[in-house]
Amino acid sequence: MYEKIVEYLLSSSYQIAFTGAGMSTGSGISDFRGPNGLWKRYSPEIASADFLRKDPKSFWEFYSVRMRGLFEASANPSHKALAEMERMGLLKWVITQNIDGLHQQGGSRNVIEIHGTMRRSYCSTCFEPYESSEVLKMIDQGQNPPLCKCGGVIRPDVVLFGEPVKEIERALKIASRADLVMAIGTSLTVYPANLVPRTVKENGGRLIIVNMEETPLDEVADEVVRGQVEKVLPEIVEEIKSELGKVR
């Protein structure tokens, strides 16, 4: 079923994955821009740096609920499939827009989180680092917004709307070396993150898209698969194993 994809993966020398919110819907985490996405229920403004400054209490009422949801989630078969591809030497990096930490939980080691991580927080005044679990305890004890010892408001270590994307230069440097990118569970509409797959394609590499919805790069992709990533990726891994078994 995925013969071409397997062929491309096995014949490439520097493969990367670029993942979005659709990667984690199978773990019970809402995506953002899908039919039932988070921004259909909330205004994106609530996740902005301006909103944090204006109304830190309401900001944390929203983010504490999101954090708890992420912390309760577990890596799904799609995360584990990418980790297995890494162990097989067929995936050099996972570059993710996700902030849930599920790639690492699923076993991936080489992960770049360009939008940061919800697992950590820090003081917006003195930059003292905090574990987010510690911050949730503060909120549970009635301290909202959670405050640092210096009196500054603590914030999650994620990229908020209105802020520059973390590690995008590092991600694009890796993308410029890659000869294949799998864009998985992402609308490919968020800038500058979507420059990652574009960079691979513009440098002559192959682009494989696995996503439930259409994306702006479908027409230039080498292969497009419509389907749930937690089903598709394990099937691709099984076909890789089958192909490698034939070689032996």
pLDDT in tens, 208-235: 999 999 999 999 999 999 999 999 999 9
Q: Residues annotated in the binding site for NAD(+), as ranges?
A: 21, 25, 32-33, 97, 99-100, 115, 186-187, 211, 229
Predicted confidence band at 45 (pLDDT cuts at 50, 70, 90)?
confident
Determine the Cα–Cα distance for residues 32 and 215; give it in Å rounded to an integer.
15
Residues of the binding site for nicotinamide:
32, 99-100
Q: What's the pLDDT at 49?
A: 93
Catalytic residues: 115
Q: What's the confidence (pLDDT) of residue 66?
A: 84
User: Can you tell me the mean pLDDT for 62-68?
Assistant: 88
Provide the whole-model pTM.
0.91
Give the pair of three-digit tokens for residue 86. 């890494």
* Interval 25-33 mean pLDDT: 75
Rounded Cα distance between 200 and 172, Å, is: 9
- Greater confidence, 10 or 38? 10
Rg (the chain; Cα; Å): 19
| Among 191, 193, 201, 233, residue whose Cα is nearest residue 88 | 233
Query: Listing from the earlier edge strand, what are the strands of the sheet with 223-225?
Result: 111-113, 93-96, 15-19, 180-184, 206-210, 223-225
Which domains can be identified in the chain, with CATH numbers? 1-29+75-115+165-248 (3.40.50.1220), 31-72+116-158 (3.30.1600.10)
pLDDT score, position 245: 80
List binding-site positions: 21, 25, 32-33, 97, 99-100, 115, 123, 126, 148, 150, 186-187, 211, 229
Contacts for 127 with CB less than 8 Å, ≥ 6 apart: none
User: Which residue has 């510690």 as its token pair?
Assistant: 134
User: Rounded to an integer, what distance in angstroms lies between the CA atom of residue 89 and that of residue 143?
Assistant: 47
Lowest mean pLDDT among 78-82, 84-88, 152-156, 189-193: 189-193
CA distance 112 to 132: 19
Position 35 pLDDT exceeds 90: no
Residue 37 has pLDDT above 70, yes or no: no
pLDDT digits (tens, 9 = 90+) for 127-167: 999 999 999 999 999 999 999 999 999 999 999 988 999 89
